[in-house]
Structure 1
Amino acid sequence: MENMFKRSLLSAVVVGIIAGSAVTAAPSAQASAFFEDSSINGAINFWMRDRTRGGYDAYTGQDTRKTPNLDHGSIYTSLGFNSGYASDVVGLDLNVYATFDMWSNASPDHEMNFWNVDNPYDQNPAIDECQNVTANDETGELEETNSQWNSSCTDNGISYQTVAAKFKLGEDGSAKLGYFQPSVPSAIGVNWSYAAGTWLGGEVGYKFDNLELGVVYGTKYKAPWFKDTYNLRTTNGKDAGDAYSVGARYTFNNGLLLDVAYAGLTDGDRKNAHVKVNNTLDNGWYLAGQLYVVDDDEQYDSTAYQLVFMSAKSYGAYSVRAEATYTEAESLDSSVVGNMSYRLTSAYGGSNGTYDVWWNNRSDFNHDGEFAGFASVARDFSDLGAQGFSAGVSGAFGMASSDISGVDDLFEYAGSVFANYAIQGGALEGANLGFYYTEYINDTDVGNWAPYTNLFQDESDIKVTLTIPFTVK
């Protein structure tokens, strides 16, 4: 049934292209726009990371030393083709990407290569590729172990990001069909690494003056660190059916933007919704107030939500941000502290939502009852003769009182320094070199992942990146 659906969908894409091209076979200039207005571009990306993480010894009441958590160097390449519209009706978007680990000495789920397991729910490892040879502590004999967490459990290779027909529906309408990323107003989004996650399905959007409407439907999904799509599942691991979303954006004449969307599952009870109010004032301040809601009777005791405040402004060469969140996410399990993630599946990598908060300070700061804040200052040094160079600092904190007897109150914080250089000349002109360092501190006396369900102990994290974009056409 699955293969039949894929064949039917791909056949529909091909038939749509042929039909659109044949609408006006003469003159041929109508169809030539398909190629003349097309573009071919891509990038070669290098990502090197060294992240160490500590633990907590409940017996001594002390933090334990940090050990490698992520230690890898990865090459990530992509190539995309975006056509024009034949007969001003139908076109085609294609994007493929390949990944390769130069080295990987810690956890394999680092998102910059393919994790060699079947899906994010079962996480069954490939037996031959995920084996480690270790010495038995008692006998000293060598033994083979097979685990999805072995550092060898990555999979160099190639996959697709986008294979989709695109359609113009008159002057103000659009549609996509195939393997795609939602682009209309929606509560359904994708995960990102250097590539985007992929939905199998389609979307339709239409614009009425200042009002934009969107409908998205997806039957399967894959995060970019998986090669193939997989079915959606509920929190309890049952088939969740398909995903759907309806959304609307309205831009007022003064520039204020209202974004509202709802998403659900055809065979699961989990639902997502958001309301976003964004505006840029005359004095340059960007301000946003947002509400994210997740309802899941298999995960939460009541409807979970997160309130968000965002602000940003530029002062000459300086850019500043200040943001805050408050989360309510009471777990069904009274022995743990719940957390809220805005997506249609609770499993990480199972799907994603259109969530705007990104602090890049390690923690998600999203536990039940947690209040969190973030601030960042960056400077562009072009005015001092350092064309293309920018740097900055950021910090975040989160705190919450525990309602569970014997569980320490939550207090976590982090600081980061970062720098970027856009290469100005030579063979690598246009490439970007980046450096990002984060020191994360968790003052809560608990172990990793429990009883706080999305919390880990102290970390040190270094990321070095090189991005080389190129254009063929």
Structure 2
Amino acid sequence: MNKMFSVSTLAAAVFSAVVAAPAMSQTLSSETSPFFTESTLSGNLNFWMRSRDRAGTDANGNDTAKETNLDHGSIYANLAFNSGYAAEVVGLDLMAFSTFDMWQNGSPDHEMNFWGVNNPFDKEPDDSECTGAWDDVCTDNGVSLATAAAKFKFGENVTAKLGYFQPSVPSTIGINWSFAPGTHVGGELGLSVDNLDLGLVVSERYKAPWFKETYEFQTTDGEDAGTAYSLGARYTLDNDVSIDAAYGALSDGDRWNAHLKVKGTTEGGVYWSPQLYVVDDDEQYDSTAFQLAMLTSMSSGQYSYRAEATYTEADSGDPAKVQNLAYRLTSQYGGSNGTYDIWWNNRSDFNHDEELAVFGSLSRDFSDIGAKGFSAGFNGAYGFGSSAKGYDDLKEYSYSLFANYAIQTGALKDAKVSFYFTQYFNDTDAPSWKGYTNLFQDEDDFKLTLAIPFSIK
């Protein structure tokens, strides 16, 4: 399997396609001119300020006073070059980014700067000043490369990427995001035929954007997992309903994942999408885990609405240890990521075994009353149904208030200021991460961001 799905195999396929391309008749200068004339150079300067306080539990399972969990102010900047295609075949995408903490007084894994450990699996400090992975000083200002990929297109139907890249074809393999994207080392092939899009993604290594260097995939038990690969397909019906299906696995690990998503919009403008996510991993689950989801949304005048629900099965085989489903090819967060559409931004993932969760959101655009660029709203989530032996049954819920303003004029035109506040409640008596493997105590979470985009070309 390793040989079948190696990067070298994908590179050979791409090279063969290049060699098979029609002979070029133009001069070198005219062939390469679209590479530069159709290129863009752009970036962002972002400021992220966050304060998150989390409660603990005493010996009787009662909440203790909230203490600092995250407290930082971070500056992030990136610069991206995206070329056109020389000879209408080959191009180049580059993107580098830098992060810096203005202050840092909480946990170092806050994701808006580099965490000063070797990878998310081993968490070994890589700086002499960082004596422990969770020390508040264990962050690492610096620069990293997010994208350095050759891109290819062959006619109107075939595309490819090779290098440090972000997947863009149908697959189960996705990326983590901060203000920067995660990075895979490998390549992809895409084929479009009429209403059908096919994709192959192969990745030898990965890094979440809060790590400077890439690392190998590991299994749940900490062994080398080899290469990650995925095959995907998306078919769009004549009524614009799309069907997205994909399968992914590891060459040297027994974990695989798959999804099925159907997406459409009614004549009345209601978006709807039933979805199924599946993860199989004998090292984490007693049986194949899955999550069912239903996503809906619509807009009416100045208002936007969302209503979503999920149900999860993720049996650990141990009644005292309730597992959760994370849709990725590694169980460790930051070790990889999947193409998962659900994002409630209400702290918890609401994804424990036998948990039923619901989510609702309402937002309003105030441009009709003279506040162009300003929008605000609230949302909430509620989850229940899971049970861990020795602890109260799971009941968790939260609400969020948010506001956004896009600056309309002046030097910061098109910059966006965002405010987001979440209050999360966990009504069980289980300590964080005990009994329920992805559960923590009550939190207050405040985020304030300023995002300034710019374009040079």
TM range (shorter): over 0.9
1:218-257 aligned at under 5 Å gives the runs: 218-257=203-242
The residue correspondences of 1:307-456 to structure 2 (distance < 5 A) are 307-402=292-387, 404-456=388-440
2-structure distance, mates of 1:256, 1:85: 32
Q: Does 1:184 align with 2:185?
A: no
Instruction: Report what 2:196 is aligned to.
Output: 211
The reply on whether 1:147 has 2:148 as its aligned counterpart is no
Residues 129-152 of structure 1, C-alpha deviations (whole Å, 9 max, x = no match) = 31xxxxxxxxxxxxxxx2111111
Percent identity reads 61
* Distance across 2 between alignment mates of 1:93 and 1:361: 34
CA distance in 2, matches of 1:7, 1:258: 31
Assess if the C-alpha contact under 8 Å between 2:153 and 2:159 holds in 1: yes
> What TM-score, normalized by structure 2, do the two folds share?
0.95
The residue that corresponds to 2:279 in the other structure is 294
Equivalent-residue separation in structure 1 for 2:9 and 2:77 (angstroms): 30
Q: Contact conserved, 1:188 with 1:216, CA < 8 A, in 2?
A: yes
SS in 2 for 1:353: coil
The root-mean-square deviation of aligned C-alpha atoms, in Å, is 2.3
Query: 1:440 and 1:119 mapped to 2: Cα distance?
Result: 29
Q: 1:235 is paired with a residue of what secondary structure?
A: coil
The count of residues paired between Structure 1 and Structure 2 equals: 452
Tell me which moved more, 447-456 or 19-28: 19-28
3-state SS in 2 of match to 1:184? coil
Measure, in 2, the Cα distance between the counterparts of 1:171 and 1:264.
29
1:133 corresponds in structure 2 to none
Task: Determine if the alignment matches structure 1 residue 165 to structure 2 residue 166.
Answer: no
Q: Is the 8 A contact 2:319 2:389 kept in 1?
A: no
Written as runs of structure 1 = structure 2, the 5 A alignment for 1:38-57 is 38-57=39-58
- Residue 257 of structure 2 contacts residue 280 of structure 2 at CA under 8 Å; is this kept in 1? yes
- The answer to whether 1:280 aligns with 2:265 is yes
The 1:90–1:430 alpha-carbon spacing in structure 2 relative to 1, beyond 3 Å, is same
Q: Is 2:233–2:245's contact at 8 Å kept on the other side of the alignment?
A: yes
Q: Distance in 2 between matches of 1:406 and 1:197?
A: 38
Find the residue that maps to 2:368 and give its secondary structure. helix
Instruction: Determine helix, strand or coil for the equivalent of 1:238.
Output: coil
1:149 and 1:367 map into 2 onto residues whose CA distance is 25
Using a 3 Å threshold, how does the CA distance of structure 1 residues 260 and 10 change in structure 2: closer, same or farther?
closer
Call closer, same or farther: CA 1:8–1:112 in 2, change over 3 Å.
farther
Which residue does the alignment assign to 2:3? none
Letter in 1 for 2:34: A
Distance in 1 (alpha carbons) for counterparts of 2:163 and 2:127:
32
Moved more, 16-25 or 182-191: 16-25
Please state whether the residue corresponding to 1:64 is helix, strand or coil. coil
SS in 2 for 1:30: helix
1:410·1:444 contact (CA, 8 Å) conserved in 2? yes
1:263 corresponds in structure 2 to 248
Give 3-state SS (helix, strand or coil) of 1:62's partner.
coil
Q: What's the secondary structure of 1:152's corresponding residue?
A: coil
- Whichever residue aligns with residue 44 of structure 2, its letter is A
1:405 offset after TM fit, Å? 3.3
Q: Is the 8 A contact 2:249 2:256 kept in 1?
A: yes
User: How far off its partner does 1:30 sit?
Assistant: 2.5
Could you list the runs of 5+ residues in structure 2 that have no partner in the other structure? Answer: 1-5
**Deviations 1:214-262 (Å, cap 9, x if unpaired)?**
0000000000000011000000000000000000000000111100000
Q: Residue deviations 1:338-374, cap 9 Å, x none?
A: 0000000001100000000000000000000000000
Q: Is the 8 A contact 1:21 1:31 kept in 2?
A: no
SS at match of 1:447: coil
Q: Does the Cα contact within 8 Å between 1:83 and 1:92 map onto a contact in 2?
A: yes
* Structure 1 equivalent of residue 289 of structure 2: 304
Which of 428, 441, 445 aligns to 1:457? It is 441
Stretches of structure 1 lacking an aligned partner (at least 5 in a row): 131-145
